[in-house]
Structure 1
C-alpha cells in the first residue's frame, strides 16, 4: 500500500507588531471589519486621488497610517493607464512590496491582473516617479514578504482569513536607466 504524500507543516505565524497608539489600534480593528471592506474601496482610493491631485502630488491621506504609493498599470483589456493608490512596504535597495488584499474582499484587485499581464508599472512614491518591473512572489519569497507585511499591518491576516483566494504579493523593482 502506498504511503500518502506528507503535507508540509504550515509556516510559523510571524510575530506581529503591537499597535503603536490607541488610534492605530482602533484603525486596525475598524479596517479588519467586513463593513470596512464594503465601504473603504469606494471611499478611500477616490479620496486619496483627489487629495493627491489638489496638493500637486505632495499628499496622500493613507500615507499618514501606512507607507503608500500610486501604482500606474496598463489595463489588460483596455490598454489604458490605471492608477491605484495603495499601501506599500519600502525595502532596502529601492524595491517595494505591494499586496493585493482588496480590503479582504473575495476578488483580486484589477491592478494585480494588470501586473501579471504586463509586468511593468509606474511607481510614484514621495513625489518621485519611476518605472518598475513587477514580480509575483511565490514560495519562500512570498512567505518572507507576507511576514514582513503582517508586521507592518496586522489586519492583512484578518483579510486573508475571511477569503478563499490567496492574496497576491508583488515586489516592484525600479528599472535602471
Structure 2
C-alpha cells in the first residue's frame, strides 16, 4: 500500500507536470481523465487538494473511486467530503467549479462498479486487496 508520503509526492509531481506543461501533460493518467479535487478538512476546516482520476463521466457527473490503492483505510479526501460535501473540481486542468460530492448508493454502485472495473481492471485488483468495500463518489455541479 502506498504511504502517505508517497501519495503526497505523487500528487505534487502530478500538479507540477500540469503546471510546467501549461496543462498539456498530466490531464490523463492510465487512460483516465485527471482532476484536482479540493475538499474542506473535517478536522482542520482548511481546503485540501488531491489529484485523482475519473474512470467514468456520465453527463455532468464525474465518478471517482476512493480506493487508496486497495488500502484497508479510506483516503482522507473521502472522509473530508463525507463531512463537507461541497467541493471544488478542476477537470482536465479546467477552471475550478463548485460541485457537490456524494457517495454512490448501493444500487448505484452495483450499476457503476462493473463499468469501472470492466474498463480499468486495476480497481478490481484494489478491491481484492482490501476487506472494505471501495466507495464510488459522484461529483455533480452544485445547484
TM-score normalized by structure 1?
0.71
Q: Which moved more, 1:63-72 or 1:85-94?
A: 85-94
How many matched pairs?
139
Structure 2, gaps ≥5 residues long = none
Kept after mapping to 1: 8 A contact 2:56/2:116: no
Structure 1, gaps ≥5 residues long = 1-36
Choose from 115, 129, 134 the match for 1:162.
Answer: 129
Choose from 47, 64, 79 the match for 2:13.
Answer: 47
Whose helix proportion is higher, 1 or 2? 1
Per-residue deviation, 1:51: 1.6
Counterpart position of 1:107: 73
Choose from 93, 96, 119 the match for 1:152.
Answer: 119
Deviating beyond 2 angstroms after TM superposition, the runs of 4 or more aligned structure 1 residues are 37-44, 52-56, 59-62, 89-93
Counterpart position of 1:73: 39
Cα deviation 1:17-61 (Å, max 9, x = unaligned):
xxxxxxxxxxxxxxxxxxxx33762542221122223334x1453
RMSD over aligned CA atoms reads 1.9
Per-residue deviation, 1:94: 1.2
Q: Which moved more, 1:45-54 or 1:154-163?
A: 45-54
Say which SS state the counterpart of residue 38 (structure 1) adopts. Answer: coil
Say which SS state the counterpart of residue 79 (structure 2) adopts. Answer: helix
CA distance in 1 between counterparts of 2:11 and 2:118 reads: 23
CA distance in 1 between counterparts of 2:77 and 2:113 reads: 19
- For 1:14-93, what aligned pairs fall within 5 Å after superposition? 37-38=1-2, 41-56=7-22, 58-59=23-24, 61=26, 63-65=28-30, 66-93=32-59
Per-residue deviation, 1:147: 1.3
Cα deviation 1:75-123 (Å, max 9, x = unaligned):
1100111100011134232110011000111111000001100111101
> Larger radius of gyration, structure 1 or 2?
1
Whose strand proportion is higher, 1 or 2? 2
TM-score normalized by structure 2?
0.87
